Amino acid sequence: MSEPDAIDLAILKTLQSDARITNADLAAKVGLSPSACSRRLDILEKRGVIRGYHAHVSHKALDYKMIAIVHISLSGQFAKTLSEFEAAVKRCPNVLVCYLMSGEYDYILRVAARDLEDYERIHRDWLSALPHVVKINSSFALREVIDRPNVGL
Amino acid sequence: MSEPDAIDLAILKTLQSDARITNADLAAKVGLSPSACSRRLDILEKRGVIRGYHAHVSHKALDYKMIAIVHISLSGQFAKTLSEFEAAVKRCPNVLVCYLMSGEYDYILRVAARDLEDYERIHRDWLSALPHVVKINSSFALREVIDRPNVGL
DNA sequence: CGTGAAAGGGTTCACTC
DNA sequence: GAGTGAACCCTTTCACG
Profile chain B (153 residues) by mean pLDDT over runs of 10 residues. 82 94 95 95 93 89 90 97 98 96 97 96 98 98 91 72
Backbone angles phi, psi at B82, to 5 degrees: -65, -45
Q: How far is the CA of B47 from the C1' of C6 (A)?
A: 30
Predicted local confidence at residue A95, as pLDDT: 97
Domains B6-46 and B60-140 agree in fold: no
CA–CA separation, A2 and B79 (whole Å): 47
Kindly state whether A22 is in contact with chain B, defined as any CB-CB distance less than 8 angstroms: no
What is the tens place of the pLDDT at every residue in A10-20?
999 999 999 99
B107·A145 Cβ contact <8 A: yes
Pairing mode, strands A107-113 and A95-101: antiparallel
Predicted local confidence at residue A7, as pLDDT: 95
Nearest to B105 by CA among B140, B139, B137: B137
Q: How far is the CA of B35 from the C1' of D15 (A)?
A: 13
List the domain boundaries for chain B: 6-46, 60-140
The 3-state DSSP class for residue A51 equals: strand
Distances (CA, A) of B117 to B66, B94, B114, B124: 10, 14, 8, 11
Kindly state whether A139 is in contact with chain B, defined as any CB-CB distance less than 8 angstroms: yes
Judge whether A19 and B53 are in contact, CB under 8 Å: yes
Please, what CATH class does the domain formed by A60-140 belong to?
alpha beta
Predicted local confidence at residue B150, as pLDDT: 81
Kindly state whether A2 is in contact with chain B, defined as any CB-CB distance less than 8 angstroms: no
N- to C-terminal Cα separation, chain B? 20
Residue B28's nearest nucleotide, by CA–C1', is D10
CA–CA separation, A33 and A30 (whole Å): 9
Nearest to B80 by CA among B131, B126, B136: B131
- Following CA atoms B16, B19, B22, B25 in sequence, which dihedral angle do they give, to the nearest 10 degrees? -20
Predicted local confidence at residue A80, as pLDDT: 98
CA–CA separation, A142 and B1 (whole Å): 26
How many other CB atoms are found less than 10 A from the CB of residue B24? 12
Nucleic strand D contact set for A 27-46 (CB, < 7 Å): 31-36, 39-40
Please, what CATH class does the domain formed by B6-46 belong to?
mainly alpha
CA–CA separation, B62 and B7 (whole Å): 37
Burial of residue A83 (number of CB atoms within 10 Å: 0-12, 13-18, 19+): exposed
- Report chain A (153 residues): mean pLDDT per 10 consecutive residues: 84 94 97 96 94 88 90 97 98 97 97 96 98 98 90 70
